[in-house]
């Protein structure tokens, strides 16, 4: 894969920029947008960007920082999930805490925002507390968003409990948008200033990239990724007026900036920022080394987002206008739903054989795997792929009948279908590899599937889909059920 991004440079200059910003204050509350760990979107649109770049950058600042995580009480009550992992926000919070502690970061606490005495939220708070994690409860801020005098008073931010912090840099992160990160930062700044501490606010948001053109495919890929939130990239009018310089931001930051500026002025007694772009510390645009490479990668990502939204629409998880929004973005960058070269081979194979199919690209070669009496398409295509990579003849059987027989018998007894799913096949392969050198050799090639493109002629079920994503394969799916009369297959 060609690289278009300098990851080492990014880690170096981004950490330096953040250090420069928190040097202006006694304490800096840094709102961290997007994923703290495993930023797969950035890795896809900026080839060369490493999934762990963001957390590695913060490792450079570890001794000076602590982390507060936020979660919206309503998201806990609704069991809101992160689509790429299929896990709920409350589970993601615990995962974030554990991952942070393993790397030696100081995790301060979890702030539950917009709390309304929900029973499920109370249970989550107990769970956190019993595992030694401090929690704080924030309710709706009185006067927000227009009555600044009330917001910046003991009735507004003052009504929230103060989170005790000790480091000069406090990261405020969350499992997803709408979790109350900004309100938590501002509440803390209010309390800090009451205590005579010169606390500041800044925002670390990877996308949109402020110093790329408005219609650059990387910025349009961000719009595609947030189509369900109705985000729209726009030229920052405040930045243009203040500096005569074009900078890209998005509608929510631009719309709320006058309010935010007023609040910060009320708290600190001065205007700190002239534009929403000023608040940011994003250096990612300076680390692009090959614009053609990143543009091509971003176009492909927009197509992936289109298929994701058509699947969500089929599943009842999104509205038609979200699909239409991403379709318009594809038109803007001059591509269509067949742009990924794995799509046509999958559809052709399905039409020829009359069964569900997954295609996968290995280098310049595209292979397919179809549904059989024994295997799901995902199982077939991965078996075909690792045979090809390990140069094992197609007629060699990697799975021992002695291992398969009891597995199939158990599936039958549990009424769990008659085809081996991908997780089951990988389990069987791992067992067989103990006594079969060829199987061991084939399994060793799984890591080579990272970043491969794949396309399914149906909505892949969660077991197979999670495993394909676990292998870091970029999977798109036609918005069709595996069997129209069996929706359970895609749950």
* Structure confidence by residue, pLDDT tens digits, 352-378: 999 999 999 999 999 999 999 999 999
Identify the pLDDT of residue 383: 96
Unique residue bearing structure tokens 């726009």: 234
Binned at pLDDT 50, 70 and 90, residue 83 comes out as low
Residue 104: which domain range?
7-287
Identify the pLDDT of residue 4: 97
The DSSP line for 101-154 is HHTT-EEEEEEEES----HHHHHHHHHHHHTT--EEE--PPTTTTT-HHHHTST
**Domain count within the chain:** 2
Asked if residue 64 has pLDDT above 80, the reply is: yes
What's the distance, Cα to Cα, between the start and end of the chain in Å?
A: 33
Which carries the bigger pLDDT value, residue 30 or residue 410?
30
Model confidence, pTM: 0.90
Over residues 227-241, the mean pLDDT reads 94
Q: What is the CATH number of the domain that holds 464?
A: 3.40.140.40
Asked if residue 178 has pLDDT above 90, the reply is: no
Q: How far is CA 485 from CA 182, 275, 482, 490, in A?
A: 45, 54, 9, 11
Identify the pLDDT of residue 489: 45
Do 23 and 126 lie in one domain? The reply is yes
Do 103 and 214 lie in one domain? The reply is yes
* Structure confidence by residue, pLDDT tens digits, 134-164: 999 999 999 988 899 999 999 999 999 999 9
Asked if residue 427 has pLDDT above 50, the reply is: yes
Do 44 and 177 lie in one domain? The reply is yes
Percentages of the chain per state (helix, strand, coil), in multiples of 5: 50, 15, 35
CA distance 201 to 188: 10
Domain assignment present for 132? yes
Binned at pLDDT 50, 70 and 90, residue 231 comes out as confident
Average pLDDT score, the chain = 92
Do 92 and 161 lie in one domain? The reply is yes
Residue pair 73/115 in contact (Cβ under 8 Å)? The answer is yes
Instruction: Give the DSSP letter of residue 271.
Output: -
CA distance 73 to 209: 30
Domain assignment present for 328? no
Least confident of 102-116, 121-135, 309-323, 396-410: 396-410
Question: Alpha-carbon torsion 96, 100, 101, 103, what sign?
Answer: positive
Do 370 and 281 lie in one domain? The reply is no
Asked if residue 90 has pLDDT above 50, the reply is: yes
Asked if residue 209 has pLDDT above 90, the reply is: yes
Do 153 and 60 lie in one domain? The reply is yes
Identify the pLDDT of residue 86: 65
Asked if residue 488 has pLDDT above 60, the reply is: no
Residue pair 249/205 in contact (Cβ under 8 Å)? The answer is no
Do 263 and 346 lie in one domain? The reply is no
Find, among 144, 74, 135, 83, the residue nearest to 109 by Cα.
Answer: 135
């Amino acid at each position: 894969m060609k690289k278009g991004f300098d990851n080492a440079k990014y880690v170096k200059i981004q950490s330096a920029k953040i250090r420069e910003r928190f040097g202006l204050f006694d304490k800096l509350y840094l709102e961290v947008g997007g994923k703290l760990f495993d930023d797969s979107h950035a890795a896809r649109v900026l080839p060369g960007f490493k999934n762990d770049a963001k957390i590695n950058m913060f490792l450079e600042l570890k001794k000076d920082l602590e982390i507060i995580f936020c979660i919206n009480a309503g998201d806990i009550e609704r069991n809101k999930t992160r689509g790429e992992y299929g896990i709920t926000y409350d589970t993601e919070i615990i995962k974030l805490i554990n991952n942070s502690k393993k790397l030696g970061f100081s995790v301060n606490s979890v702030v539950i925002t917009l709390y309304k005495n929900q029973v499920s939220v109370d249970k989550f708070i107990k769970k956190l507390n019993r595992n030694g994690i401090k929690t704080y409860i924030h309710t709706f801020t009185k006067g927000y968003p227009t009555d600044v005098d009330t917001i910046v008073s003991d009735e507004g931010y003052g009504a929230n409990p103060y989170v005790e912090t000790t480091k000069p840099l406090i990261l405020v992160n969350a499992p997803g948008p709408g979790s109350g990160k900004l309100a938590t930062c501002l509440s803390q700044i209010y309390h800090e200033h009451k205590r005579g501490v010169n606390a500041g606010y800044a925002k670390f948001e990877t996308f949109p990239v402020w110093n790329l053109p408005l219609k650059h495919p990387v910025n349009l890929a961000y719009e595609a990724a947030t189509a369900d939130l109705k985000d729209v990239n726009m030229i920052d009018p405040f930045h243009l007026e203040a500096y005569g310089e074009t900078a890209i931001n998005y509608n929510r930051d631009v719309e709320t900036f006058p309010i935010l500026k007023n609040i910060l002025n009320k708290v600190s007694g001065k205007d700190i920022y002239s534009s929403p772009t000023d608040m940011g510390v994003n250096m990612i645009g300076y680390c692009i080394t090959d614009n053609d490479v990143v543009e091509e990668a971003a176009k492909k990502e927009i197509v992936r987002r289109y298929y994701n939204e058509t699947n969500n629409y089929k599943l009842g998880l999104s509205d038609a206008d979200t699909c239409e929004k991403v379709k318009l973005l594809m038109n803007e960058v001059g591509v269509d739903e067949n742009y990924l070269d794995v799509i046509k081979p999958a559809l052709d194979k399905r039409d020829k054989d009359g069964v569900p199919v997954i295609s996968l690209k290995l280098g310049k070669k595209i292979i397919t795997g179809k549904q059989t009496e024994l295997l799901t398409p995902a199982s077939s295509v991965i078996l075909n792929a690792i045979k090809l990579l390990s140069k094992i003849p197609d007629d060699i059987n990697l799975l021992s009948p002695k291992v398969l027989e009891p597995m199939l018998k158990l599936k039958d007894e549990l009424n769990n279908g008659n085809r081996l799913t991908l997780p089951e096949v990988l389990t069987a392969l791992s067992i067989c590899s103990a006594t079969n050198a060829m199987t061991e050799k084939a399994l060793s090639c799984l890591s080579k599937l990272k970043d491969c493109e794949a396309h399914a002629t149906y909505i892949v079920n969660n077991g197979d889909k999670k495993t394909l994503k676990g292998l870091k394969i970029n999977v798109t799916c036609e918005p069709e059920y595996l069997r129209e009369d069996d929706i359970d297959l895609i749950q």
